[in-house]
């Protein structure tokens, strides 16, 4: 537990001021500073540093993807013997703004669980990804945390990058999907920002949209890096083989996103496949993220079908395991440690982080419905690579049998194991570019 120096924050209403000071001092010293906005992890701050939040409620999560990609870059930097630090200013917002952000997350949860109500979904998407209330809430703590940082800052959310670049910071902005949102273009003509993108098509789209908006963007500041995948997940592919088919159960990871997307689909397909789990033809690891209702749903379905689940995640022989934690830090770590090296395939919405990670780990993907245009792009890319197929929730057991019998699963895993290195080296490429920028 740290002993804090006396510190008065730039706004006395900010939460966790002493830890904010820790972030400022750390970011100023490291070679690879990283900033995102994805979630709070105040409970972890209390455990590690001893500083307790003014708010006694649960942590909030906007996006596992923005968190996991940031952790991927943080981990990659350290594996390259470069000092690094990661900040998410959501942890420090004022009580008033915290209330607003909790309302946004609640709207996101409602939209995720009732996708038929499209207006609610669209409203939630606008609130979460638009400028308000997120940008104004995080601005003061973000600018303070980075106020003494001289190295180029890797931004893993466009709001972070736009705020920083307007204040004159040098920014390397990660486009987290093969999709160019209009927010990425808002400050694109400034010389103190560079961009890393998924592939050559995304670069072409970026430059075309910039031209349409009459923006002058040097194409040399838009660099193809590949997606940022955690190096631990990339290493998980090394243990993957194809000689297991017919000798052991199929291993499936069933996952939701940070807001609890695709709940109805997941419920249907899990109900459908439970007979195969009960007869040990399939084993499952069920990722609930930080969502207690998902954990309860998983437990209720398993109980209904008289399937027990392991008390310990380390039990690889169990018919079923559930990954849940109120902490996104712990939930993400558990998924990396117990999911990617174990699973043959992932059942997931085609989100950037899950699809990139699953393919990098040498897994096939059965896709839930995309949640937006960016996920449609992701779905198409991995479908074209013959790694992904659309899941059939109401006939999921039959689909699994057919895909095994036809050889599709074997071939999809083989395709994932032979995937272009661009899908495996994105994190390393991004860190190398940030270091190149630091020395120019």
Q: Tell me the CATH number at 406.
A: 3.40.50.2000
pLDDT given at position 4: 54
Q: Are 167 and 277 found together in one domain? A: no
pLDDT over 60 at 169, yes or no:
yes
What is the span of the domain harbouring residue 224?
17-229+426-438
Q: Are 265 and 371 found together in one domain? A: yes
Q: Are 84 and 177 found together in one domain? A: yes
pLDDT over 90 at 166, yes or no:
yes
> What's the mean pLDDT in 12-38?
96
Main-chain phi, psi angles of 366, to 5 degrees: -110, 115
Q: Is residue 400 part of a domain?
A: yes
pLDDT given at position 116: 60
Q: Is residue 134 part of a domain?
A: yes
Q: Are 122 and 106 found together in one domain? A: yes
**Per-chain mean pLDDT for the chain:** 92
Q: Is residue 1 part of a domain?
A: no
pLDDT given at position 259: 84
Tokens of 156: 């893993």
CB–CB of 257/349 below 8 Å? Answer: yes
Q: Are 364 and 400 found together in one domain? A: yes
**Residue 339 confidence class, pLDDT cut points 50, 70, 90:** very high
Q: Are 192 and 258 found together in one domain? A: no
pLDDT given at position 399: 98
How many residues are present in the chain? Answer: 440
Q: What is the CATH number of the domain that holds 123?
A: 3.40.50
CB–CB of 366/391 below 8 Å? Answer: yes
Q: Are 90 and 197 found together in one domain? A: yes
How many structural domains does the chain have? Answer: 2
Q: Are 84 and 154 found together in one domain? A: yes
Q: Are 242 and 345 found together in one domain? A: yes
Q: Quick: pLDDT tens for 104-155.
A: 888 888 877 776 654 555 554 554 444 446 888 999 999 999 999 999 999 9
Q: Is residue 103 part of a domain?
A: yes
The alpha-helical segments, DSSP class H, found in 80-199 are: 95-113, 118-129, 134-145, 158-166
Q: Are 263 and 407 found together in one domain? A: yes
CA pair distance 121, 357, nearest whole angstrom: 26
Q: Is residue 59 part of a domain?
A: yes
Closest CA to 364 of 343, 341, 395, 333: 343
DSSP 199-250: SHHHHHHHHHHHHHTT----GGGEEE------HHHHHHGGG--STTBTTB-E
pLDDT given at position 118: 45
Q: Are 188 and 298 found together in one domain? A: no
> What's the mean pLDDT in 266-283?
97
pLDDT given at position 5: 59
pLDDT given at position 117: 53
CA pair distance 129, 140, nearest whole angstrom: 19
CB–CB of 132/283 below 8 Å? Answer: no
pLDDT given at position 2: 47
Q: Which residue has the higher pLDDT, 106 or 29?
A: 29
pLDDT given at position 127: 47
Q: Are 56 and 193 found together in one domain? A: yes
pLDDT over 90 at 1, yes or no:
no
Q: What's the Cα-to-Cα distance from 420 to each of 385, 397, 415, 417, rounded to whole Å?
A: 10, 31, 9, 9
CA pair distance 430, 439, nearest whole angstrom: 15
Q: Is residue 2 part of a domain?
A: no
pLDDT given at position 201: 96
Range in 80-84, 102-106, 381-385 the model is least confident about: 102-106
pLDDT given at position 131: 43
Q: Quick: pLDDT tens for 209-264.
A: 999 999 999 999 999 999 999 999 999 999 888 888 888 999 999 999 888 888 99
**Residue 21 confidence class, pLDDT cut points 50, 70, 90:** very high
> What's the mean pLDDT in 337-366?
94
Tokens of 162: 């736009």
């Amino acid at each position: 537990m740290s002993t804090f120096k006396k510190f008065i924050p730039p706004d006395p209403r900010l939460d966790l001021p002493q830890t904010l000071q820790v972030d400022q001092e750390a970011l100023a010293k490291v070679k690879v500073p990283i900033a995102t906005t994805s979630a709070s992890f105040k409970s972890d701050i209390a455990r590690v540093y001893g500083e307790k939040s003014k708010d006694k409620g649960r942590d909030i999560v906007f996006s596992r993807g923005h968190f996991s990609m940031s952790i991927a870059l943080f981990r990659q930097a350290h594996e390259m013997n470069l000092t690094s630090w990661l900040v998410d200013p959501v942890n420090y917002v004022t009580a008033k703004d915290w209330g607003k952000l909790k309302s946004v997350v609640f709207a996101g949860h409602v939209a995720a669980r009732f996708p038929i109500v499209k207006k609610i979904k669209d409203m939630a998407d606008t609130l979460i990804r638009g400028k308000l209330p997120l940008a104004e809430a995080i601005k003061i703590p973000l600018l303070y945390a980075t106020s003494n940082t001289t190295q180029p800052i890797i931004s893993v959310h466009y709001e972070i990058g736009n705020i920083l670049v307007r204040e004159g910071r040098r920014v390397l902005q990660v486009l987290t999907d093969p999709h160019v949102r209009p927010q990425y273009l808002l400050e694109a003509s400034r010389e103190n920002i560079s961009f890393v993108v998924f592939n050559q098509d995304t670069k072409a789209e970026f430059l075309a949209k910039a031209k349409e908006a009459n923006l002058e963007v040097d194409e040399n500041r838009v660099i193809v890096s590949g997606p940022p995948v955690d190096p631990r997940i990339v290493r998980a592919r090394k243990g993957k083989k194809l000689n297991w088919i017919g000798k052991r159960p199929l291993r499936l990871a069933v996952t939701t996103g940070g807001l609890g997307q695709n709940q109805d689909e997941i419920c249907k397909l899990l109900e459908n496949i439970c007979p195969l789990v009960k007869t040990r033809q399939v084993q499952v690891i069920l990722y609930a993220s930080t969502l207690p209702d998902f954990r309860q749903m998983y437990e209720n379905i398993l109980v209904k079908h008289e399937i027990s689940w392991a008390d310990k995640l380390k039990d690889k022989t169990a018919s079923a395991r559930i990954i849940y934690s109120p902490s996104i830090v712990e939930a993400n770590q558990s998924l990396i440690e117990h999911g990617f090296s174990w699973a043959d395939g992932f059942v997931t919405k085609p989100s950037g982080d899950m699809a990139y990670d699953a393919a990098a780990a040498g897994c096939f993907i059965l896709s839930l419905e995309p949640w937006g245009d960016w996920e449609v792009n992701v779905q198409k890319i991995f479908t074209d690579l013959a790694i992904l197929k659309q899941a059939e929730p109401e006939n999921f057991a039959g689909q699994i049998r057919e895909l095994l019998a036809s050889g599709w699963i074997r071939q999809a895993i083989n395709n994932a194991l032979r995937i272009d290195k661009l899908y495996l080296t994105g994190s390393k490429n991004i860190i190398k570019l940030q270091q190149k920028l630091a020395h120019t």
